[in-house]
Amino acid sequence: MPWNSNSNRKRKRKERPKIHPKNKYSDCPPDFALLASLYPSFQPFVFYSRNGRPAIDWTDFNATRELTRVLLLHDHGLNWWIPDGQLCPTVPNRSNYIHWIDDLLSSDIFPKTNTKGENVRGFDIGTGANCIYPLLGASLLGWSFVGSDMTDVALEWAERNVKDNPQISELIEIRRVKSGDDNLSVEDPHDGKSSYCESKEDLTQNADTEGKPLSSSFDLPADVDKRYHGSPILLGVVRDDEKFDFCMCNPPFFETIEEAGLNPKTSCGGTPEEMVCPGGEKAFITHIIEDSSILKHTFRWYTTMVGRKVNLKFLISKLWEVGVTIVKTTEFVQGQTCRWGLAWSFVPPARKISSLHVAEKNNLSFMLEGLQRQFSAIHILESIGSFFSTSGASCNLNASPFTVDITASHDHYKAIIKNEENHCDRAVSGEDVQDTSIISSCLNVPIKNLCFKISVFQQTPGTLLVRGSLKQADSQVSGAFSLILQRLEESLKHKFCRKKTTVNPS
């Protein structure tokens, strides 16, 4: 039988993450033609493409700035402007971030602390001249904000944008961050000790404060170019008696201004202070993590945007090292641009998450489709045995009925999960993201011995069914069993299944 005899069966393509359902533009994207007819200042930037649709030149900063201005005015009732060269935000994408934070605050992960109807309070790290997050958060949800920045231009225009909207101006405070010309003494609110940060010149010969690690269980790379050299981010900016529900950040994604200008398809402006720092976003966000490990419960949620998916795995590993209780990730999509959201907290969860989110089933299965031609069921069976035995679990392989009986202690179980977490290149976006809080909860479940059987069934050429059968009937054990099966599925697919070819849109 030909290998591709079953190729007529269409596989469901995984849908790309969409715009947040609460986003104003999820069902109704901006109508350029309508906006041009209502706002004469926008009309010169609109043209009609070959298919007759209205469009703008995304490489024209004046066009993108005017679009942002009219969207904020038309859809949010906000007066807004920024001078040439400042970072121009896209309204739909920034709205996605606001709505995601709203989801985090509304979830039942943590005990409710805001029971008296008190206003939600956020902190925007590097609010910029555009001040987009405080403006959107205040106008959409009535949140109050502190927006921080250090340059005179950013502070002046952020304050202008706040004052030009008197209906929400009382909700937003713009706070200056000292550029680092003076030494900084920061008091740890948890132990009362002061930590000393010595001023240095950074690699661009600008005098900035290099914050020495105050209390951290990890170090940045030894290369000084990869360390964060900038002004204070949270420590030294957040006051001792302050409490916030969340912080958010659109970090400097790039290491050089040349790297920041590599995308020829867009022009959103941006100053070196907004776009660039030594070590790029990886170093900047790592410094936020260091600050959060000291501030801890000062914020219910620490969040940041991430521009490169490859950095997520590194950052998540650092978060677990400093003792967070939960990590959340998401993907923000707007057109062809993808950004990722990373959130973490030190607040103890309200109850065990494993009992809420992990399937309580004794029999679980998954399909292996698109097996490479040289592999058969016996190869899969042997790989399953190796998967568990390398972690020390007891395995009894039965080649005739194609089954493996496994007995794993709690230590074996933890080794299975952690080994695969370190070695399996798992997706970190959309529905593929395994909520790492589930992993943490399951690892803390006391399990004496986990006994189960894995069976392999031939379906059609190139397709196998793998079924796991748990011998214990216990909800907590079921959660651990479910997580093991997910890890096994990821490992087998990575090793034996052909990778799908993806076509990048032009």
| Binding residue numbers for S-adenosyl-L-methionine | 94, 126, 149, 250
Q: Which amino acid does the sequence have at 288?
A: I
> What SS3 class is residue 43?
helix
Which residue is listed with tokens 């941006």?
Answer: 270
Q: What is the DSSP string of 347-404?
A: SPPSS-SHHHHS---SEEEEEEESB-TT--HHHHHHHHHHHHHTTT-EEEEETTTTEE
Residue 412: phi and psi, rounded to 5, are -60, -45
- Across the chain, how many H-helices and E-strands are there? 14, 18
- Residue 266, Cβ density class (10 Å: 0-12 exposed, 13-18 middle, ≥19 buried): middle
Angle (nearest 5°) at CA 73 between 89 and 276: 15
> What SS3 class is residue 102?
helix
Name beta bridge partners: 332: 339
- Residue 425, Cβ density class (10 Å: 0-12 exposed, 13-18 middle, ≥19 buried): exposed
Q: What is the DSSP string of 429-455?
A: SGGG---HHHHHHHHTS--SEEEEEEE
Q: Could you list the residues known to form a binding site, using ranges.
A: 94, 126, 149, 250
Reference 135, options 244, 248, 39; nearest CA is 248
Helix (H) or strand (E) holding 357: helix 354-357
CA 399 vs. chain centroid, Å, equals 43
